[in-house]
Structure 1
Amino acid sequence: MMKDLYIFLEKLRVNNNKTWMDEHRAEYNQVRDAYILWLDDLDARLAEIDPSYDHTEGKRAIHRINNNLMFHPDRPTYKEHIGATMDRVKEKSDFYIHIGPEESFVAGGYYHPPSSILSKIREAIDYDGDVLQSILDEKRFKANFVLEQDLLKTSPKGFTQDHPHIKLLRYKSFAVMHTVTRQEVCHPDFQDKVVELYKVMMPFRDYLNRAVLY
């Protein structure tokens, strides 16, 4: 199934226009529907391991393939990857799967969140930033995830440079990523790998969700 998804995306990359897509809509629907079923299986497995997980059926998890040309007219008509967000709830931190010929990865957290969310995370760090730092320093976490290096040049408003967690406070994104190869995605145990990555990421997302939602 994943192999067929890659093949379709490769063809789309060199034929990124509405005419071609209209002619190959049936093929797109076939690979999309197969991926949605895969996501449905993943949804059930994630719900079993995480009491705070919110069921996200594949149809709701998968992102639209059309680019938003109203706000980004320079982009191609269609995305050349397939994105899906599991545990999908407004303002909740992401658990995201990205599959594309050029790049595939599993990611989570908040990527360039609005100031309202960023402020809540910084308040949490001010209170118990040592907890977040211990999560980031945990051996399995460090072995699997890279934290988005997007920092302010100076301390954020309301915090001094000598704050014990000033580096964490300077982050503008709290998002981590694990790159996967095409071979890994097409392997029969890829869903097992995604489930394990979810488990390793859970403490990180739990910390962020508590900061933002509770």
Structure 2
Amino acid sequence: MDFKTMYQFLRKLQKNNSKEWMDEHRSEYHSIRDNYIEWLNEMDIQLAAIDPDYTPTPGKKAINRINNNLMFHPNKPIYKDHFGAGLDQESKQGDFYIHLGVNESFIGGGYWHPSSKLLKSIRAAIDYNGEDLKQIVNKKSFKNRFGDMIVDNPLKTAPKGYSQNHEHIDLLRRRSFAVSCPLTEKEVIASNFKEYVVTIYKEMLPFRRYLNQAVTV
């Protein structure tokens, strides 16, 4: 996969974000998209080989549409400035997300804005063994890779059914449980990027397993 060509295309698209321009460069877009799908297929096989709980996710299923949803976000440009894809996709929530864009590139995972049902299950797991989650996110190598969990407008008080004095109240107040690892363009276009993605996947795996188990119990 020639990621340098992908970035060059996205920069041109960002400057010429219109259907007319895209129509003129449709073959270029499809060539890059097809190559990225093939790269995702290779990653899919590689990740499945190291994780027995991995959910096979072909590249065509993993990749997101490049069109913005203008029905809900009418002020956004017609096209996104990135290629997004979710591997290990049991559902749209909780996948291993790869975001490669002009302004931002990163790999993320966990549950971002989970449904109330899933959030309730995660909180129940924290109530039961929140110390396990804290041990995972406070591990030195995890901290070095991802920092802290992404902050997403936590509750000001304890969620219903839990005490303000709960030992894990800092976790229970969260509305999202997700982490991300920023990527530089240099890292993405490097020859060892695939191996780097595997390294990130392995480091994130205990975190994602905890949450996936929480929402399935």
TM bin (shorter chain): over 0.9
2:155 equivalent in structure 1: 152
- Does structure 1 retain, via aligned residues, the 8 Å contact 2:155–2:175? yes
Alpha-carbon distance, 1:132 to partner: 0.4
1:133-144 superposed matches below 5 A: 133-144=134-145
Q: Does 1:165 align with 2:168?
A: yes
- Does structure 2 retain, via aligned residues, the 8 Å contact 1:82–1:100? yes
Q: Does 1:178 align with 2:185?
A: no
CA distance in 2, matches of 1:48, 1:132: 25
1:110 equivalent in structure 2: 111
RMSD: 0.9
CA distance in 2, matches of 1:128, 1:24: 53
Aligned with 1:79: secondary structure? Answer: coil
The sequence identity of aligned pairs, in percent, is 54
- Does structure 2 retain, via aligned residues, the 8 Å contact 1:106–1:177? yes
CA distance in 2, matches of 1:42, 1:160: 43
- Does structure 1 retain, via aligned residues, the 8 Å contact 2:93–2:112? no
1:33-182 superposed matches below 5 A: 33-90=34-91, 93-146=94-147, 147-150=149-152, 151-182=154-185
Deviations 1:26-81 (A, max 9, x none): 00001111111111110011000100101111111110001111111111101110
For residue 208 of structure 2, the aligned residue among 200, 205, 209 is: 205
- Does structure 1 retain, via aligned residues, the 8 Å contact 2:68–2:79? yes
2:16 equivalent in structure 1: 15
Alpha-carbon distance, 1:114 to partner: 1.4
The count of aligned residue pairs is 214
CA distance in 2, matches of 1:135, 1:103: 26
- Does structure 1 retain, via aligned residues, the 8 Å contact 2:87–2:96? yes
CA distance in 2, matches of 1:183, 1:50: 27
CA distance in 2, matches of 1:213, 1:81: 31
- Does structure 1 retain, via aligned residues, the 8 Å contact 2:137–2:207? yes
TM-score normalised per structure 2: 0.96
- Does structure 1 retain, via aligned residues, the 8 Å contact 2:93–2:114? no
After alignment, is 150-159 or 188-197 more displaced? 150-159
Task: Give structure 2 stretches of 5+ with no counterpart.
Answer: none
Deviations 1:140-196 (A, max 9, x none): 111101311122122111111110000010111100000010000000111111101
Alpha-carbon distance, 1:137 to partner: 0.8
